[in-house]
Every structure is written in structure tokens, then in C-alpha cells.
Amino acid sequence: MPEPADVHFLETAATLVPSGAPAPPGGLTGERCLELFDAQLGSRHLDLAARRLRAQGHGFYTIGSSGHEGNAAVAGALRPDDPALLHYRSGAFFLERARQVPGRNPLRDVLLGLVAAAEEPIAGGRHKVFGSRPLNVIPQTSTIASHLPRALGVAFAIERAARLGLDSPWPRDAITVCSFGDASANHSTATGAVNAAVNCGHQGLPLPLLLVCEDNGIGISVRTAPGWIHAAYGSRPGLAYFHADGCDLADAHAVAARAADWVRERRRPAFLHLRTVRLMGHAGSDVESSYRSPAEIASDLDRDPLLRTARLLVDRGVATAKDIVGRYEAKRAEVMALAEQVAGAPRLASAAEVMAPLRYDAPGGGARSAEGEPVTLAQAINRTLGDLLDERPGMLVFGEDVARKGGVYGVTRGLVRRAGAARVFDTILDEQSVLGLALGFGTAGMLPVPEVQYLAYLHNAADQLRGEAATLPFFSSGRYRNPMVVRIAAYAYQKGFGGHFHNDNSVAALRDIPGLVIASPSRPDDAAGMLRACADAAGGEGRVCAMLEPIALYHARDLHEDGDGGWLAPAGGTVPIGRARTYGDGGDLTVVTFANGLRMSLRAARRLEAAGVRCRVVDLRWLAPLPVEDLLREARATGAVLVADETRRTGGVSEGVLTALADAGFRGRAARVTSEDSFIPLGDAAYHVLLSEAAIEEAARRLLTSPR
């Protein structure tokens, strides 16, 4: 069935004659207009090819850029060394950016993505994205503006790298461009990122960020309220506002150039409101006529940016109607020929190929013992952070209250004096922006160590880890990575203080993120070694690491009796990722645990031993990757395993541990004891739903007396 946008363009373009209208201002030469028109034509025919490939069973993606081809003008107003994080309707931007860098074949690259070909040069067949390392286009899959916090971070990182004298992938005067749709502009992620950008400017912090809202007036089938984008962003203090008709190439180019120059010169954020249309529906399966009137659809066809550019070329005497149609059909032939070439291209053929960017080879060897005076968990983390800051000039520590106050629990105390305010600094109270800064710093080659004050607060921003950090190496075949160590004050047992938001034991949202390294230290020596291991993995392998620090153990000093100092240990040493630690060599029972559960299990094991039950206690230390080899060895040593899990019964760590045992064919007795599937209430009521020492003892006796 003919595509109406295709038919309408050909019928109308064939009738074009010079109108006698004066040349528009802005200095867009005829030659330059033809270059941008070529990008627009390529983008349109990629959309048509996508639908044809899909109909033939070769393609898998039909969300196109038709109606948004004016973003070629934005690319034309920027430099190819300006980092770009693009909206998924940015085909013309990508093609024009590629034209500026010799040796590219962007049409073929995009088509390879449409057919999920393994040779596609950015995602390797894992997704259709606009991305390229040589083009400084950081790949994004976002459809809800979740890439805006990263864009904020990239812009911030350009300036911070220059201030610290660090190497950066981008020049000192580069600016960051980030495009998104009008519907996505309403998402909390977008509004939070814009707020953070304006806040930076308010504080006098340079932030060269150009936000481009491509406003087609509709999100799938839901209309954006008329005038809303201008009302929301047109007069916001601290955010320069520029408006252009994205269907008018000359106007879009002139305004985009002014906006880019403004950001480059002033190092402040700006908002470019680009009014566009959406042609060919939301995607191939979308039936626009079910929610839009024929008059609306026809009106958008008349505003087709390709048609407007064709009129401009004819009016300027650069091309005739016949030339326009000829260029259009020549581009169709070029794209369709490439589409036929790639239609049968090999795809990813195994799970190993699909998961290659997520692979992590843990370093060999065992742990190295720490030496020095015994310290608490908080002191061990503090000293290790200080040492790492001394050793790594590109490392930054930041978050809410981490600098002047030194953290809510004093874990970062003194670090700002040690490393300076450019490397240890406070942020606004917005976890999405905190992690967005980390995403930007990591992409710029630095080592960010952000702090999230409480595990419950992370859930407000979990998609920045899941949808942005973890996916970047996956959807760029490892060409882009997000080195990052997120420190999170976690778990419960604060003696009833704070209720749910300060006592959260939900880790399921982290444990199912592919490739994420999750450290969960209990003791000071382990915390120091695990933090160093995470820094090494992030800095050396580009890994995304999360370190869950048990708040209730930060300042613990004793183990069995008051004053015994049994929870103090020297800071230092190394702890290989994915290796557990075993306490004792009892042959009756293996207790598998982590975090607060370790202290409770060691105390429970002492009482069980007094009753004649010989235990060994295994501290997992790493929740991802789980230390399966160590787990199996210690389980087989006793033939009886009790998992003492302070997280919830549903979605908790014990599910993964027992599954690992079953997968490996463990045939001994196994059971688990966990906290309840409940939020953590205030006060002493918390202990009705949390794992306890008494519960561990009771579960151990029940397991050992149960039939095999």
C-alpha cells in the first residue's frame, strides 16, 4: 500500500515553480541547503525502507523520523566534536553529522540496525540506535527522556575535566546537545534534569548544554496541550529559550546556530523549541486514522519539512521541480539497494554473542590481608576513599551532604579538605541528577563515586542504572562504557529509627540488572578491599558497580560482648570480585549470609556450637556476581545449608542462592530464613518483620532435625 507521505511529496514536488519570495535571512547558501536536503531525503527513505523490510520479515523497527527532518539543521549548526545524545526521531541529524566526518556510510549503518545485523557498527544487532564513537553520538534507546540526566552529566563533565586538567574525549569549548520529544518533556526525568541544569547556572557553575525539544504535538495518540512547551520552558529564569519552525530549514538552521553559539560562548544551558510534525504515524503498526482526523493528517502532510525544503531550493533557483523529484528517487534507489544488501546479513547467533559486552572476567588470586590499626566499617570506607582520591586524579566523590557535612553517617568526613571542592562536592537533592552526573563523568573517562543516602532513595532513580548505565555498553558493543561506583547506605536494623525510607531491604531492583556488580560488605577489612576492587573494575573495565553499605554496622565495634572489639579490623587489602569469605570449619551446617546477616549468623553460630552444632558461616560479600564456586564448596563440605537472608522472602537474595545450589546439583539439605515480605515500620515494630538471631538459630535446628 503506498505511503501517503511518499505520494503527497512526489505529487506536490512535481508542480513546484519559483514563487518570487525573497531569500530567507540566515546565510544558508544554496550549496549548504542541498547538503542538508540530502540528509533529510536519506532519513525519509530510511523510514520507508524500514517499513518495507518489516513487511518482508527482515526488519524489526519502524519508529521513524518523518516530519522531524528539520533536525538536520541542528546537526549543521554544531560541530562533529560536540557530544550528542539523540531522540529516536533523529535520523536526519545522524546523517548530517556523519557527512561532516569522512569515511562514514550512515545509511548502511542505520539499515544494519533495522535488520538486527551483527555487523552493525554500534549496537552490533542488539538494538536500532543512533550512535557512533567517531561521530561523538552517544547511543540512547530512551523514549521517555531518561537520557537527559546523562546529558546533564556530560555537559558538566566537559567543564569539570577542564578545571581539573584531565583529558576529555571532547574539546574544552565543546557543547552537549540532547534532543527529545514534547511528550517526553513531561516526564519527571526530563523535568528533574532541566531543573538541575538551571540550578547549576543559578550557582554560577558552567554547563554547556543545548536541550532540543522536537515538538510534533502528540505522543503516540495523546495530544500535547497546545502551547504547553512554550508555557513550561519559554520564560524560565536561567534557561535561554529559542524557538524555530522545524519544518522550515532556513529558520531551523539560523535559530539553531544562534542557540549553539549562545551555549558555546556563555557555557550556560539553553532550550531550543523546534516545532515539527509527525508523519507516517508513531510506528508501522500505528493506525493514525483511529485517533486523528483526515484534516489533521492532511495539514501535517502540507507542512512536510522535505516539501518545505524543496520549495526553498526552487525559490532560490538552486533546483527545479524535476531536479527535486530526481534527487528524491535517486535517494530511494540508493537506500533500497542498500536495504536489499543487508536484508540477509547474519544476526547474533548465540547467547554468548548477545551478552559479550556484559562479560566480566574477575581477576584471579585470593584476597590480600589488611594491615594497620583496627577501625570501624565507616572508617575503613572513609580511608579507602581518601586513598583512592590520592591515587586517581580522575575520581570524584559527590552526592547529597557528602562534602561539608561528610555524609549523614560521617563516612565521607574530611574528604573535601583532602581532595578539594572540585572533586568532592554536594549535589541537589535529586537522585536522578546525582546518577546523571555519574553517567556523564563516566562517559567522559573519569571515575565517579556518587553516594545515594538510602537504598529507598535509589528506587526513585533506578532506571538511571538499569536503562542508562547498564545498557550503554550493551547497546554500543562496549564502545561506550559507564565506569561508576555507586555507594548506597542500605538495609535496616537502625534500632527502629527512620521507618521505611531509612530502613529498606529491597535489592531485587538491583540484582536483575545485567552486568551490574553488587558489593555488600559487612566488615571493615572487606569493605576496604571490596571498594578498591570496585574502583579497579570500574576504572579498568568500565564496570558499573553498586556498593550496599549496611548502615547499622557503620560504627559497630563489638561482636559477641560489649567491649570485645570483634567487629573492628584494619582497612586495606584486596577482595576479588565474586569471592566469598568463610568463618569457621564446622562440619554440621553451612550458614550462607551477607551484610547484617553475617554479624547475626556469627553470634547465632556461637550459641549453636555451645549446643553441639558445629557451623561454618559463609559471607557472600558479592550479590552479583554470586560467588557460586565458593558457595558450592562450603555447601558440600557439610551437606546442609541454611541461607540467612535479611532481605525479603520474595525477590530477596536467598532465591538466587538456593537456585544456584539446585542448578549445580547440590543434593544436601537446604533451607532459608528471611525477613518478611513487608516494608519496614517505625520503632520496635520493625523487629517483627526483620530477620533475627533467634530466627536463624531456630531455622538451623529445624533444618538439622528434618528428614534428609
Assess contact for 624 and 518: CB atoms under 8 A.
yes
Assess contact for 249 and 308: CB atoms under 8 A.
yes
Assess contact for 143 and 498: CB atoms under 8 A.
no
Assess contact for 306 and 41: CB atoms under 8 A.
yes
Q: Is 117 helix (H, G, I), strand (E, B) or coil?
A: strand
What amino acid occupies position 418? R
Assess contact for 475 and 127: CB atoms under 8 A.
yes
Q: What is the DSSP letter of 53?
A: H
C-alpha 145/C-alpha 184 separation (Å) is: 5
Number of H helices, E strands in the chain: 25, 21
C-alpha 482/C-alpha 480 separation (Å) is: 7
Edge-to-edge strands of the sheet including 209-215?
84-85, 176-181, 209-215, 270-275, 240-245
Residue 61, C-alpha cell as written in the block: 523497527
Say how many residues make up the chain. Answer: 708
C-alpha 108/C-alpha 342 separation (Å) is: 8
Within a 13 Å sphere around the CA of 137, how many CA atoms are in the beta-carbon half? 30
Q: Which of 183, 96, 194 lies closest to 137, judged by CA?
A: 96
Neighbouring C-beta atoms of residue 683, cutoff 10 Å: 11
User: Cα 498 to the chain's mean position, in Å?
Assistant: 30
C-alpha 396/C-alpha 160 separation (Å) is: 10
User: Cα 650 to the chain's mean position, in Å?
Assistant: 26
C-alpha 603/C-alpha 694 separation (Å) is: 10
Give the position of cell 558493543.
477
C-alpha 378/C-alpha 357 separation (Å) is: 34
Residue 248, C-alpha cell as written in the block: 522550515
Please list the active-site residues.
502
Radius of gyration of the chain (CA): 29
C-alpha 46/C-alpha 92 separation (Å) is: 10
Assess contact for 419 and 397: CB atoms under 8 A.
yes
C-alpha 58/C-alpha 140 separation (Å) is: 23
Q: % helix / strand / coil in the chain, to the nearest 5? A: 45, 15, 40
Specify whether the backbone of 543 is left (phi greater than 0), alpha (psi in -120 to 50) or beta.
beta
One-character DSSP codes across 287-299 = -GGGTS-HHHHHH
Assess contact for 183 and 218: CB atoms under 8 A.
yes
C-alpha 630/C-alpha 176 separation (Å) is: 46
Burial of 543 (0-12, 13-18, 19+ CB in 10 A): buried
